[in-house]
Amino acid sequence: MYKLYSMQRSGNSYKVRLALALLGVPYQAIEVDILSGESRTPEFLSKNPSGQVPLLEVEDGRYLAESNAILWYVTVGTSLAPASRIERAEALQWMFFEQHALEPNIGAAYFWLSLVKGGRDLQTHALEDWMERGYAALQVMENHLKTNAYFAAGQLTIADIALFGYTHVANQCDFDLDAFPAIGAWLRRVQQTPGFISMTCKPQTARSSTDAVASA
């Protein structure tokens, strides 16, 4: 069984939990509070030197980091991973877009405005750029969704899961999603998918303390 080190309110962590839920894949969830430094301990850094979540233990002592890499790993051979060469490339195209255009802006705004106490004051200098670039990313998505129900292969794939992670919480960090009706309709389609779970849905977890991780 997989062991997934993740943080409940992390959009990147949620992407992996959502994919596993949609596939009905069992796993052991280990909660890591990055805000209190639990991902920077020597023990955790021995598993992932970048000190980030999510982190998937795929077999004893072998770990896979980076949310979109984990998505590919857990979905290969399923309907969530496109089968044809061009559709795989299209899914990757949107997953790369998510990491360079969406996550650094909407993801950063969500982290500092919604998760970090006093984060707005700490990041006043960056907020304007996040908003400008975040809205630009949303417009690219909106334009695509005006004529497409999903982002690749004409169906729900890991491209949608990758983009859903932070898009669905954009309204929690000053972005007005009402201006993007096609995105709104897409968000509802994803949420209506059988097996869907919300970000707040809590799997059975172990704490990431030394004792919990050692016994996980």
Angle between the N-to-C axes of helices 124-145 and 158-167, in degrees from 0 to 180, rounded to the nearest 10: 140
Spell out the per-residue pLDDT of the chain, length 216, in tens.
999 999 999 999 999 999 999 999 999 999 999 999 999 999 999 999 999 999 999 999 999 999 999 999 999 999 999 999 999 999 999 999 999 999 999 999 999 999 999 999 999 999 999 999 999 999 999 999 999 999 999 999 999 999 999 999 999 999 999 999 999 999 999 999 999 999 999 876 544 433 333 222
CA distance 193 to 92: 21
Q: Residue 166 contacts by C-beta under 8 Å, 6 or more apart in sequence? A: 11, 98, 102, 103, 106, 107, 110
Tokens 């979905």 sit on residue: 75
CB 108 within 8 A of CB 137: no
